[in-house]
Amino acid sequence: MATKDQDPKAAAALADQKGKESRNYEATEHKMSLEELKAKFETAIDLQNPKESKGLSEQEAKNRFLRDGPNAMTPPKQTPEIVKFLMQFTNMFMILLMVASALSFLAYGLDKTEPVNLYCGSALIIIVFLQCLASYLEERKSHATMNSLKSMMPSQCNVGRDGMPRRIPASELVIGDIVLLKGGDRVPADLRLIQTSGLKVESSSLTGEPDAFEMSVAHTHEEPFESKNLAFNTSQCTEGAAVGVVIRTSDRTLIGMVAKLATATKVQVSTLQKELSRIVKFITMLAFFLALCILIIGFAQGVPWQLVVNLVITVFCANIPQGLPATVTSCLGIAAKRMHNRHVLVKNLEVIETLGSASCICSDKTGTLTQNRMTVQNFWFNNSFEMLQGAVVIGATSSAASAHTAQDMLHGKNEKKTKNSVTESATQVFVRWRSNPLEPLLLVAAVCNSAKFAAGEGPANENVNLSGPLPELQWFEADKSGPLPDLKAVAPPGGKVDELVRTTSGPQRVHSGISTHSVSGAAVTSRTEKAKATGEILGDASEAALLRYCESIYPVDRIRKLYALSFDQPFNSTNKYALCVVDPPGNEAPGKQYIFLKGAPEVVVERCSTWLCAGQNQAIDEDFKSKFLQAYERFAMAGERVLGFAKLVIDKMPADQMTAANVPSSGFMFLGLASLMDPPKDGVDKAVDECHHAGIRVFMVTGDHALTAEAIAHKVHIITKPTRLDLAHERGCAVEDIDPHDPEIKAIVIAGHELRQLDEAQWGALLDHDQIVFARTTPQQKLEIVERLQKRGEIVAVTGDGVNDAPALKAADIGVAMGNPNASDVARDAADIIILDDDFCSIVSAIREGRLLFDNLKKSVVYTLTHLVPEMVPVFLNIVLLFPLGLSSLLILTIDLGSELVPAISLAYELPENAIMSRAPRNIKTDRMVTWQVLCHSYLFAGVVESLFSILAFFCVFWTHGVALADLCFPDSKLYFSGSDAPVMHSNGRDFSADEQSKILSVGNSAVYANIILCQMFHIWFCRTRATSVTQHPLFSNKLTLMAMPWELGFIAIFCFIPEMEVVFISGLGLPVEFWCLSLGFLGWVTLHTECLKFFARRYMAGRKSFLGKLAW
């Protein structure tokens, strides 16, 4: 609580800062030694050999389980469906209609001789119920965020308790447990790793990036999120093995915090909801004010209370646009259907208009801007750069096989050659691709590669009999003096132990005791071919990209059979390379073996003494090293991942001498470089350009590294201005030598750990830039970026497809998820919109639809509000001047919910006016749906004139029937024209009986009714555009507007010419044609008025300011 001396704003800022800090994942365990971990968590850790750690006792584990609860995330509170339905009745529109309905029933209860009140009350209550039901059904959707998160949680895990390995439900894990991990496992809780053996972990559920990183025991970064000795809940172990201590469970884990943010984040009120709420408040105040005026004037005039109540009901009916909710819902549904045709699925209809108001898009990189598939980009070999197109090296003399691009193969082209290749011998295949200029490099890329096409459920499930002993039980039986074994190793079909088999992490020895079963070769082949067609690959992303590229040129499985593997040393973060020893096929090199080397370019080139150029070995000299560095830097500066390839020919080694220590590690021949990148999707750059043209800022918010993010941002035009790195290159200096506040820096690239150091002023300066890339961000930081932009008045759209994006998607004004199969269900559940075709360009189409929706809704509101004035004027003439009531409440309902509904909805089908994507985003504070310009047009310029012609028709009916207007104003009796009990009226020397009065009033009601509808029928043609002349807009482009004309004329025919309507609606006795013609006067006025204002509006938009231009709505 703030003290008296403390500034309330400062206290609020401090509280807000504390709230943001509580979102951050705070941990110090990654900095602790094993002794400190042992002491803190009171668990039995073997400091000398952690894999022998005994862990907790069963009793201690039970005690901690009772203290901390299960290792499961707390589901959010659910609102009962009945409560959601009843909440629809709290809408102010509905409350007003229910008040009017209650008054109708009250009036009927006090005077049952007037059934009109019963009909009116019943109609109103039915309207309320149907509209609330429709709104509930539209808004109802499944909030399955927690269920999606639960599906990511592992069901079982391996722990050590009391020194014995156990397999327990992951929900029973407690803090301090010793967990055993192997390739293929999901991390069951947040772990501090205490021993690793080649463990690689992919944390796309948290970072959004699919890359797997090698973990270690060492503390590698001050930030826990960046340190390699912490493995987080729901992360995927791709290979290797490790032992870890549980440091967080349930909601306290990092993914648990993300889940709480995704489910607890306050749902944003859409801009459309705000606009409609504003309209409702205005109409509510106007209705109550007018109703109060009617009450005061009515009782002051001595009008019977029954008539006053009826007039109050009529005021409510006239002021409340009963059809507006239905019109808005229909317009939203139409827009949603149109967006679905553009591959955009709208979960929350109201957000369509918000998307049209978007001023800033915060886009994830992987899977949104890029293809989420690592792809080979370029090669450097023969001392030259080769750019790729498909799977062909441009400018290279490729063989017939290499001429088949990846696209051709995917679409079934060259099918004949592909089929023929199946019947070729391995030697023929070898000869056919041998002429490819990239063959030496691609041979290494294909063979020295642990990636493979998936077959069925993966190697473990194919080759391991799950009913036998579990592989993880061999952990404690293995040689305790050596490194931890890779428990993904499995026996080959046939079940022979100690046989070398190839897995995604290279050949491993299969431990005795693992039961196996054979798999049908035909079935495996069939599944493998299917996997090739779908691109499903097991292995590291970089190796998968190389495999995919090589496979597009020649069959890798055959090449691997040709070059039989004798020894394999997988990549690790210490050596930074992978190598394998193979036997060359046939008589290619009798008595020789090849060593293929692949890895970090600087490491590979250090082990080389020569390099391959035009088929010749050349010694590595300074000139080569200079060119090599230039090539390496060129690829790296483009944000591409670079690999080097080399080859060495050796005399054949005996199998028993083939160890890592005996395999030569120098004297290699350098073959070249390959660069890889997750490439941008087609058309993203153009879509971003269109966003910029529309005044929308596009920021990249990613978990990837800054260099890669900046390179992609340049390619997709998110960054078009100089960054700090660009200035460093331009000036030929290091990035650190460039002042971060240099005025020439126009685009910002900032990492997540730097965001924590920013104060409020620095945040403000940062967000002032138009081009920003946020790299290495956590889910909490993504959320903070969204909230800070919203505080600045921005309408923020967030795109993403990962769990890490869910909190920001939920908090954003518009959450946009990708619909690709790799996208997270959590992200889709949290989003408002799903892009089904996974195309960023569809977002631009959705923005265009959102802007069009706002324009069309504004047109519908202008059209709908106009008829409220001519409906109110008869009421005030009746209560103030005591004229007969010219329009009954039931007739008003037939206008609002009948004749006006189709025309108002038809405006949703209007085409966009010129340059809808050339104007700046709508300013939600000034450019509202109902402005003073809208009210002037609807209530004054159109509504008042429409009222004049309607009332003129009403007066003409009395005049033609011989009733003097002077006798209608303040008549001798207030009961004239009140029904069957009305007294005889004297006017112009004639007596008019009650029956004659009823017939004249019926015709008068019909005249007002018909002229209101006719005037509106003319008016809608001028509401189709806001600035474009009606003569320049396609006249017959909107078929529904054309259909609305006979629809409206049909209501006139029903309620003006069917005698049976006279009893209830006080109309239906016909209407002479001369009374119809009065509406033509309104047509002339509205044509002159609107075309004049639109002319000045166009000049105003062009920069020529004037009052008449500002007056246009």
* Residue whose C-alpha is closest to residue 582's, from 453, 444, 486: 444
Cβ neighbours for 158, distance < 8 A, ≥ 6 positions apart: 165, 166, 167, 179, 180, 181, 182, 185, 470, 472, 475
3-state secondary structure of 847: helix
3-state secondary structure of 514: coil
What does the alpha-carbon distance between residue 600 and residue 542 come to, in Å, rounded to a whole number?
12
What does the alpha-carbon distance between residue 660 and residue 394 come to, in Å, rounded to a whole number?
39
Cβ neighbours for 469, distance < 8 A, ≥ 6 positions apart: 513, 514, 515
Structure token digits, residue 363 = 């886009």
What does the alpha-carbon distance between residue 874 and residue 580 come to, in Å, rounded to a whole number?
94
**Cα–Cα distances in Å, from 537 out to 348, 401, 492, 565?**
36, 22, 19, 20
364 belongs to the catalytic site: yes
What does the alpha-carbon distance between residue 64 and residue 68 come to, in Å, rounded to a whole number?
6
Cβ neighbours for 1014, distance < 8 A, ≥ 6 positions apart: 1048, 1052, 1076, 1079, 1082
3-state secondary structure of 141: coil
Of 177, 364, 704, 801, the catalytic one is 364
Contact 621/567 with Cβ under 8 angstroms? no
What does the alpha-carbon distance between residue 588 and residue 434 come to, in Å, rounded to a whole number?
12
Structure token digits, residue 555 = 């069959």
What does the alpha-carbon distance between residue 575 and residue 555 come to, in Å, rounded to a whole number?
30
**Cα–Cα distances in Å, from 454 out to 86, 458, 976?**
52, 6, 90
What does the alpha-carbon distance between residue 822 and residue 830 come to, in Å, rounded to a whole number?
16
* Residue whose C-alpha is closest to residue 1018's, from 953, 1068, 950: 950
Question: Residues for the chain: how many in total?
Answer: 1113
What does the alpha-carbon distance between residue 780 and residue 25 come to, in Å, rounded to a whole number?
9
Taking the alpha carbons of 166, 168, 173, 179 in that order, is the dihedral positive or negative? positive
**Cα–Cα distances in Å, from 543 out to 366, 409, 563, 678?**
18, 20, 18, 13
Contact 894/1068 with Cβ under 8 angstroms? no
Contact 856/1031 with Cβ under 8 angstroms? no
The Cβ of residue 521 has, within 10 Å, a number of other Cβ atoms equal to 9
Contact 666/597 with Cβ under 8 angstroms? no
**Cα–Cα distances in Å, from 792 out to 359, 360, 735, 796, 973?**
11, 11, 31, 10, 63
**Phi, psi (degrees; rounded to nearest 5) at 987:** -155, 135
**Cα–Cα distances in Å, from 26 out to 74, 704, 754, 783, 1079?**
20, 21, 16, 17, 73
**Cα–Cα distances in Å, from 666 out to 447, 575, 603, 608, 617?**
20, 13, 11, 6, 15
Taking the alpha carbons of 1014, 1015, 1016, 1021 in that order, is the dihedral positive or negative? positive
Mutual angle of helices 305-319 and 271-301, in 10-degree steps: 160
What does the alpha-carbon distance between residue 160 and residue 180 come to, in Å, rounded to a whole number?
7
Q: Active-site residue numbers?
A: 364
